[in-house]
Amino acid sequence: MIKRQLFLLCLFLVFIAGSMVSTVSAAGKGFYDNGKTKWEYLFEEGVISEARWYSEAGELISQETYVAGQTDKTEGYRLDGSVEWQVKPLEEGRQEVTRFDLESQKTELYQTVAGQVDGVYKTFYSTGQAKQRVTYSQGVLNGPATTFFSSGQVEHEFSYSNGEVDGLYRTYSEEGKLLSEYIFLNGQLQ
């Protein structure tokens, strides 16, 4: 509790000092017991511009950038320095989340509201080609879903209702030929 109060006081003082001298960048820092930087906040002309968090070994693990004092994007990093994930704020409390593989290729793209996946959730092959597209509503699978072969051809088409496969379920060959159709009701094959 005392550390938090000291941090807030320090942050306030840094903010005040930064606002007095408009051309000077100021920073607030926190430290691990080993003396390495745990976090740092950077200010330009009294307004936060960047926040960084570090591992106990000193590697950058997350960074948040700001525009006019508002979050622009947040990124998380692997130990090799590559971006593992990125979060961007959208309107009405929504956030866009993108995840990347070791070669910096997009593997997942989705939106969240209040920490719950909401809307279309896409996954990708390492080539960038769509692998799967499902629909969520407040964290629950609800709506159309499609899986794809690596060629881009549709493999399966179906829907979810309240987290259960529901309705027509179609399976296709890689050449696009319809192979089977099934009917599901509340997750049960009919």
Question: With contact defined as beta carbons under 8 Å apart, do 26 and 39 qualify?
Answer: no
DSSP 89-133: E-GGGEEEEEEE-TTS-EEEEEEEETTEE-EEEEEE-TTS-EEEE
Task: Report the predicted TM-score, pTM, of the whole model to 2 decimal places.
Answer: 0.79
Name the residue with higher pLDDT: 14 or 166: 166
Q: What is the pLDDT of residues 61-82, one digit of tens each?
A: 999 999 988 999 999 999 999 9
Instruction: Pick the closest to residue 86 from 57, 122, 110, 60 (CA basis).
Output: 110
pLDDT score of 51 more than 70: yes
Would you kindly state where each structural domain of the chain is located, as residue ranges?
Answer: 1-79, 90-190
Over residues 2-19, the pLDDT tens digits come to 444 334 334 333 343 444
Q: Give the mean pLDDT of 34-63.
A: 94
User: Tens digit of pLDDT for each residue in 131-146?
Assistant: 999 999 999 999 999 9
Written as one letter, the residue type at 120 is V
d(CA 158, CA 74): 34
Looking at residue 25, what is its pLDDT? 55
Distance separating alpha carbons of residues 78 and 92, to the nearest angstrom: 30
Q: What is the pLDDT of residues 66-123, one digit of tens each?
A: 998 899 999 999 999 999 999 999 999 999 999 999 999 999 999 999 999 999 999 9
> Which pLDDT value is given to residue 22?
38
For the chain, percent of residues with pLDDT exceeding 90: 83
CATH architecture classification, 90-190: Alpha-Beta Complex (3.90)
Q: What is the mean pLDDT of residues 167-171?
A: 98
Mean of all residue pLDDT scores within the chain: 88
pLDDT at 23: 39
pLDDT value of residue 46: 87
